[in-house]
């Protein structure tokens, strides 16, 4: 995982808008987040995370068969951010692809990567989650409900085909869902290719249509319903009981959502792990960042059962069950 060095506290945001450290922590659990410095790009964050993953795996970039980047942070309008990451990794002719499923993006990307490996199309797939959201938020009182939540960061894992019958580590199940009728409850309306004759106009900017809009209560209600549902669905598909799970990792959107879900499922605090307090919501990067920190901190160990569960814009939601 990699996060920028710049730490942005709640008090710093409080100087820009009508908010406070107490207000933000009470509603989200967030104390601080990271923002990129001038000159940094999404691909820079992703590159750092990918290089760490390659080093940890004892691999070179040429050992990969596919690079799959989950992100909603377009480095440029086109091509996708994965191509700029590809260039910086000096990845030769290895195929790459952006996948946009917002905060559920990493779960979706794992699902696609698993399919590539199961089909025999690929042996090793780099799955990356990367977001730079600090440059696209409304840091005024009008936009505070969204602005205080998001941070910048990246995380990466490498999936590899494993034919050793004595090694039980791997993906046991991935279950994903979508419900597009709720797309406008959490979205950025502009720029849009459907706007004629121009994708972005001065009027759109004045209306702040280029900033995220979120119906917070509506999103909260669906998140605390869908996340437990899909987690139980994925566990059932993997023939794993909830009591047998060693570690539950939830997308870091809002600590209050995750506390609600954990309480609903009667999950003890010692079987969860969080870093939203320090990094905020890093969207598609949040779960791979959690994985990296959980392993480094000794929270996640070989042989353990771990679940990954997310809910995000779209609406999208999903859960994965892994044996580490």
**Catalytic residue list:** 103, 251, 281
CB 249 within 8 Å of CB 287 = yes
Cα-based distances in Å from 307 to 71, 94, 218, 262, 300: 21, 30, 25, 12, 11
Direct distance between the N- and C-terminal alpha carbons of the chain, in angstroms, rounded to an integer: 17
Separation between Cα atoms, residue 195 and residue 129, nearest integer Å: 29
- Where is 257: in which H helix or E strand? helix 255-264
Nearest Cα neighbor of 149 from 23, 41, 46 is 23
Residue 250 forms beta bridges with which residues? 309
Using DSSP, state whether 97 is helix, strand or coil.
strand
Residues shown for the chain: 324
Q: Which residue has tokens 């030769």?
A: 92
If one counts every other C-beta atom within 10 angstroms of the C-beta of residue 84, the result is: 20
Tokens of 264: 């609903």
Nearest Cα neighbor of 312 from 197, 217, 215, 219 is 219
In angstroms, what is the C-alpha Rg of the chain?
19
DSSP tally for the chain: helices H, then strands E: 11, 12
Nearest Cα neighbor of 176 from 121, 89, 251 is 251
State the pairing for strand pair 124-131/153-160: antiparallel
């Amino acid at each position: 995982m990699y996060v920028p060095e710049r730490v942005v506290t709640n008090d710093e945001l409080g100087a820009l808008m009508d908010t406070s450290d107490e207000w933000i922590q009470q509603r989200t659990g967030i104390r601080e987040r990271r923002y990129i410095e001038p000159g940094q790009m999404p691909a820079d964050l992703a590159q750092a995370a990918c290089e760490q993953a390659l080093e940890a795996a004892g691999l070179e970039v040429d050992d990969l068969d596919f690079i799959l980047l989950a992100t909603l942070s377009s480095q440029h309008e086109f091509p996708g951010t994965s191509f700029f990451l590809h260039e910086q990794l000096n990845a030769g002719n290895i195929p790459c692809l952006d996948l946009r499923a917002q905060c559920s993006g990493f779960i979706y990307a794992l699902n696609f990567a698993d399919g590539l490996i199961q089909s025999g199309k690929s042996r090793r797939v780099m799955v990356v989650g990367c977001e730079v959201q600090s440059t696209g938020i409304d840091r005024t009182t009008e936009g505070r409900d969204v602005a205080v939540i998001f941070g910048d960061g990246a995380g990466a894992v490498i999936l590899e085909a494993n034919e050793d019958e004595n090694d039980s580590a791997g993906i046991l199940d991935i279950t994903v869902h979508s419900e597009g009728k709720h797309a406008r409850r959490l979205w950025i309306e502009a720029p849009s290719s459907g706007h004629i004759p121009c994708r972005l106009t001065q009027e759109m900017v004045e209306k702040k249509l280029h900033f995220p809009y979120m119906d917070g209560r509506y999103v909260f209600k669906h998140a605390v319903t869908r996340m437990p549902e899909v987690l139980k669905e994925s566990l059932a598909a993997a023939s794993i009981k909830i009591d047998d799970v060693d570690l539950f990792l939830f997308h870091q959107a809002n600590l209050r959502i995750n506390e609600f879900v954990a309480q609903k499922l009667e999950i003890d605090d010692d079987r969860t792990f969080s870093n939203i307090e320090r990094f905020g919501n890093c969207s598609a990067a949040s779960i791979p960042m959690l994985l990296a920190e959980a392993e480094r901190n000794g929270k996640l160990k070989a042989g353990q059962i771990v679940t990954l569960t997310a809910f995000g814009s779209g609406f999208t939601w999903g859960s994965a069950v892994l044996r580490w």
